[in-house]
């Protein structure tokens, strides 16, 4: 039972980070119908910037975090403006390939600047494990969970009450109607990309604190796809619930099934679940069903 709870807690923590990164993905899809295959590289760039600020310039963690987030936001803006703007309204394949190309460019730049070896964050959180009943948890996990929950609450409030958040929801709903109400759709797209870059950077920094930083961290960009699809591509609650489901499934598979098959099933399981769910619910658990007319 203790093992089960341990796996459950790990799953929820990792899943909450997935949820955060998937939130960025869903946000972009919802507002501009674009699919971002470069999410993992956004995460990588933000994490490396934060790490470099801390280790090379000895900036305290909180300050470095905010500078890195600011940098990510600017990066998101610039990329939307230069690369993605020409693809608004283009077929899905153009969008997919454009962001795949973008991810290749970003990965290459990261590779050139920071190389391939794994780096570790200096210890920010204390290392003494916390006991919750039978379960032993590292403080970094609890902090991650706390930060993710705070971020998710901030975003929920942001979308519900702030003017910009309401404008973003309006754009997602109907671009033309939003335009006619005086909302600048282009500005909304830019903000969506900036937010996506910021949430990915937060996710990356949290994961970097848990596992160390190297180029393989960007694989999370692919892992977030099943999360976003499972919850439904255009549903923000879907992204959060999908993230938790995938995180728990992954950690349970890692705990119970991987010893039986010799490892590796953990990475594959989300995709297996994904295929099954798509067979029965083609638009994910909470996705909006598209009605097509000829």
Partner 1 sequence: MRNPFVMDCGEFHVNYKQDMAIWKITRVRMRVLILLALLAIFPLVASDYIIGLATLCGIAAIGAIGLNILTGFTGQISIGVGAFLGVGGYTSAILTAKLGLSFWIAMPIAGLITAIVGGLFGLPSLRLKGLYLAIATLAAQVIILFVISRWDSLTGGTAGMVLSRPEIGGFVFYSERSYFYLMFVILIITTLFSLNLFRSRVGRAFIAVRDRDIAAEVIGIDLFKYKVLAFIVSSFFVGIAGALLGHYTMIVSPELYSITVSIEYLAIILVGGLGSVFGSIYGAVFITLLPVFLRSGVEFLSGYFPGLSELFAGMKEVIFGLVIILFLIYEPQGLAKIWKNIKDYFRLWPFSY
The binding site for partner 1 (CB under 8 A) comprises 35, 83, 86-87, 90, 92-94, 96-98, 100-112, 222, 225-226, 229, 233, 261-262, 264-265, 267-268, 271-272, 274-275, 278-279, 282-284, 292-294
Q: Which residues pair with 131 in a beta bridge?
A: 136
**Smaller CB separation from partner 1, 23 or 33:** 33
* Main-chain dihedrals φ then ψ at residue 107, nearest 5 degrees: -60, -40
**Smaller CB separation from partner 1, 141 or 286:** 286
Is 45 within 8 Å of 108 (Cβ atoms)? no
Separation in Å, CA 202 to CA 47, 130, 195:
8, 23, 11
Q: What minimum distance in Å lies between the beta carbon of 130 and partner 1?
A: 34
**Smaller CB separation from partner 1, 90 or 173:** 90
Is 54 within 8 Å of 69 (Cβ atoms)? no
Q: What is the DSSP letter of 218?
A: G
Q: What minimum distance in Å lies between the beta carbon of 6 and partner 1?
A: 25
Q: What minimum distance in Å lies between the beta carbon of 280 and partner 1?
A: 9
CA-based nearest residue to 198, from 70, 29, 99, 51 = 70
Q: What minimum distance in Å lies between the beta carbon of 146 and partner 1?
A: 31
**Smaller CB separation from partner 1, 1 or 93:** 93
Structure tokens given for 192: 């969506």
**Smaller CB separation from partner 1, 27 or 225:** 225
Give CA 255 to chain center in angstroms.
24
Q: What minimum distance in Å lies between the beta carbon of 101 and partner 1?
A: 3
Q: What minimum distance in Å lies between the beta carbon of 83 and partner 1?
A: 6
Q: What minimum distance in Å lies between the beta carbon of 32 and partner 1?
A: 13
The CB-side HSE value for 187 (13 A sphere, CA atoms) comes to: 9
Helix (H) or strand (E) holding 215: none
Residue 237: other Cβ atoms inside 10 A: 15
**Smaller CB separation from partner 1, 39 or 209:** 39
**Contacts with 223 (C-beta within 8 Å, 6 or more apart), sequence order:** 18, 246, 267, 270
**Smaller CB separation from partner 1, 179 or 265:** 265
Q: Which residues pair with 132 in a beta bridge?
A: 135
């Amino acid at each position: 039972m203790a093992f089960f709870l341990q796996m459950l807690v790990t799953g929820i923590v990792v899943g909450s980070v997935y949820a955060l990164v998937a939130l960025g993905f869903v946000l972009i899809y919802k507002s501009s119908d674009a699919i971002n295959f470069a999410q993992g590289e956004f995460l990588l760039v933000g994490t490396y910037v934060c790490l470099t600020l801390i280790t090379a310039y000895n900036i305290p963690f909180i300050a470095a975090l905010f500078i890195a987030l600011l940098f990510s936001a600017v990066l998101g803006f610039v990329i939307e403006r230069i690369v993605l703007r020409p693809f608004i309204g283009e077929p899905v394949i153009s969008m997919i390939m454009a962001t795949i190309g973008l991810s290749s460019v970003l990965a290459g730049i990261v590779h050139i600047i920071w190389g391939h070896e794994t780096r570790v964050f200096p210890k920010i959180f204390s290392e003494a494990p916390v006991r919750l009943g039978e379960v032993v948890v590292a403080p970094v996990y609890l902090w991650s969970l706390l930060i993710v929950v705070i971020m998710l609450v901030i975003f929920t409030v942001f979308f519900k009450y702030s003017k910009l958040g309401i404008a973003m929801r309006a754009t997602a709903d109907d671009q033309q109607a939003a335009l006619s109400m005086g909302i600048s759709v282009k500005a909304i797209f830019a903000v969506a990309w900036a937010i996506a870059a910021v949430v990915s950077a937060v996710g990356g920094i949290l994961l970097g604190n848990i596992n160390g930083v190297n180029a393989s961290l960007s694989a999370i960009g692919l892992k977030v796809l099943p999360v976003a699809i499972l919850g439904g591509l255009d549903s923000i609650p879907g992204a959060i619930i999908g993230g938790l489901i995938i995180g728990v499934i992954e950690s349970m598979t890692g705990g119970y099934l991987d010893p039986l098959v010799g490892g590796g099933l953990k990475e594959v399981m989300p995709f297996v679940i994904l295929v099954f769910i798509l067979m029965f619910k083609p638009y994910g658990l909470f996705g909006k069903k598209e009605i097509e007319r000829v």
